[in-house]
Structure 1
C-alpha cells in the first residue's frame, strides 16, 4: 500500500467503526426503545471516531432502518446523499476551513434554528451534526443554547466535542454526554498493519505512543512524510545541535499535502518527545531537580507558541524554528 492510499477518510464517507461498543449499543437500544434524547454530546480526544459514529447513526435513522447494528448498504440513496452533504433532513455545522481552525460563525448556527423549524422532507427525522462545538465562539454558543432549550419533536442534535471541559454547563445540562475512550492498542495495531505492513516493530511502537489511541493521528503518523518528521526531531535530540537545515525542514513541514497535515504531525511529535524526555530526565539525570526548572520553563514556552499560533494565526515557519530552537536548549541537559 503506497502513501497515496493513506489519505484522510472524512467521517461522512467512512463506514468503518472501530471500538466504542458500549456507546453503539446504548444508542441503538435507545432508538429501538423510542427513548432517544434530543441532543447528545460525543466527547473524547480528537480522531477516535466520534464523528464517524455520529454519521453512522444518522445514516440508519434517515434510512428508516429498524437496525440491530450499524451495518448498511453504502450504495443506497440516503448514504449517497449524506456523502454528498446534500440530504435535506441533515444539517452539518462545521468550520468552513477546519485545517485553518476557522471558527463556526453565528450565521452558520442560525441555519440550525431554521432547519429544525421545518418538517422532515424525505424521512421521519431532522438531524444536525455539529462538528465541533470547540470551534464556536460565545455568540454562536448562545444561539445553540436557545435551540436546545426548546427542542422540536423528531429532531436530533449530535454534538462533537474534543474538549468537553470547556463546553459551558448550560449546554451540557441540556444534552446527554457519551464519553468516548481512546482506542485500545490491539485495534490500533491491527489498523497500522493494514496501512503500513512493512513497518519495523520500533516504528510501530513509536507511532502507537504518539497516536495515544487516536486513529486519526495514527493515519497521519503512518505516512512516510510523518516518519521523516519523527526522524528529524530524533536527530535534533541525538546530535544536540541545529543548523541552517532547520529552515529547509520547516519548508518541508509547511509544504501543502492533500493527505496529511504535516504541521499537526510536527506538533504531536514534539509533544510526545517533550513528555518522553521529561520522564527519562527524572529517571537518569542526577541533577533533575535543578534542571527540571529549566525544562518545564522551556516546555511552557513551546506549548505557549503552539497555543498562540492556533489563536492568533502566527507565522508557522517562525513558530517551527522557535520550537526547534527551544528543543535544542533542552537537549543540552541530557
Structure 2
C-alpha cells in the first residue's frame, strides 16, 4: 500500500511510502505498544491516551496500529483484513479521525483544526455506534487545535461514552491543555536509534540508495518520517546547507541571511519553510543541551531557549495570518545570532 488511499487532506503523504493508517510496520516503539496491550488485555484500559513525540517519529502509525487491534476484537479472524482496509480508507464506521480539513472555498488545507470540526466529531461519538464493539477517536494532532478546540474535546473526555477510546497525538505534549493531559495516560515515543532508523527507511522506501539512506538518517534526528520526507523531496542538500548556515551564523552578514531566506520564500516552498523550522528547532535543542553541560553555559542556553519560544510564536502567527516567510526567516536568524 502506497498511494492507494491518499486523500486531499493527506498533505504529509510521502511519495511511494505507505500512509500511517495503511502501514502495518512499526519500528522502535514496541515497548509503548506493549504498554497499551497489557492494559487492554487486563481490562484496565484508560479511555484516553496522549501519545507524544517529535514529528514523524511514528505517533500516527502507532495510533492506527492500536486502532486496528481494538476495532478487530469483535470481528471474525477471516474478516480482519476488512478492518484494515476500512481504516486505511478512513471508511470504518467506528473510527473518527480529527485533523486539519480542506477549506472548500479556497481549496487549501486549513492551518488549524476548527472547533466546529471537534464538536461535529464529538457529536458523532456520543450519538452513533454500529454495535457493542469499540469506537476509536484519533486526534492528529492536538498541536493543530485552535484556541477553542480543547474545551470542545474536554467535555467528552471527562464523561466518555462506554467503549470509546481516544488517542491524542502531540508533537509537544507538555503544551497540551493541562485539564486534558490530566485525564490521559501518557505514551512517549523517543527518537529512534540509528539502527531502527536504518530498518525503517529501508523497509518503507526500499528503492533508496544506501548513501541516500545514510544521509537521511544523519539529518532525520531519530524521525523516520523526517528522513523519508528529505529523500522524497530531494532536500538532503538543502538541509546540509541549513546545518552549515547555523554552524557559521556568527559570520553571516545581513545580505547572507536575506539570500538564504529568498530560497525558502513563496507558497510553493511551504514544505521547505517547515523543514527550516524543524532544522532550527533541532539546532537550538542540540546546542542548548551542549551548553547546559558547561558550568558557564546556563545563561546562553536560556537565551537559545528564548529564541525557540520566539520562533514558535512567530510561526504560529505567521501561519494564521499568512505573513511573508522571508521576514519570519530573517527574524529567526537575527534572534539566533544575538543569542549565540
Q: TM-score range by the shorter chain?
A: 0.7 to 0.9
In the TM superposition, what is the alpha-carbon distance from 1:109 to its structure 2 partner? 1.5
Could you tell me which residue of structure 2 aligns to residue 203 of structure 1? 215
Could you tell me which residue of structure 2 aligns to residue 93 of structure 1? 98
Could you tell me which residue of structure 1 aligns to residue 156 of structure 2? 147
Distance 1:26 1:276 in 2: 29
Q: Tell me, yes or no, if structure 1 residue 316 matches structure 2 residue 325.
A: yes
Distance 1:276 1:50 in 2: 22
Of the three residues 268, 286, 309, the one matched with 1:255 is 268
Of the three residues 168, 172, 189, the one matched with 2:198 is 189
Q: SS where residue 144 of structure 1 aligns? A: helix
Which of 1 and 2 has greater Rg?
A: 1
Q: Tell me, yes or no, if structure 1 residue 121 matches structure 2 residue 145.
A: no
Distance 1:60 1:248 in 2: 47
Q: Relative to 1, partners in 2 of residues 1:100 and 1:123: Cα closer, same or farther, differing over 3 Å?
A: same
Aligned length: 311
| Alignment gaps of 5+ in structure 1 | 284-288
Q: What TM-score comes out, normalization by structure 1 length?
A: 0.74
Contact residue 229 and residue 266 of structure 1 kept, 8 A = no
Q: Relative to 1, partners in 2 of residues 1:202 and 1:130: Cα closer, same or farther, differing over 3 Å?
A: closer
Contact residue 250 and residue 317 of structure 1 kept, 8 A = yes
Higher relative contact order, chain-length normalized (CA < 8 Å, sep 6+): 1
Cα deviation 1:253-277 (Å, max 9, x = unaligned): 85358xxx22222223334455667
CA RMSD of aligned residues (A): 4.0
Distance 1:119 1:282 in 2: 52
In the TM superposition, what is the alpha-carbon distance from 1:7 to its structure 2 partner? 5.5
Distance 1:5 1:160 in 2: 19
Q: What TM-score comes out, normalization by structure 2 length?
A: 0.73
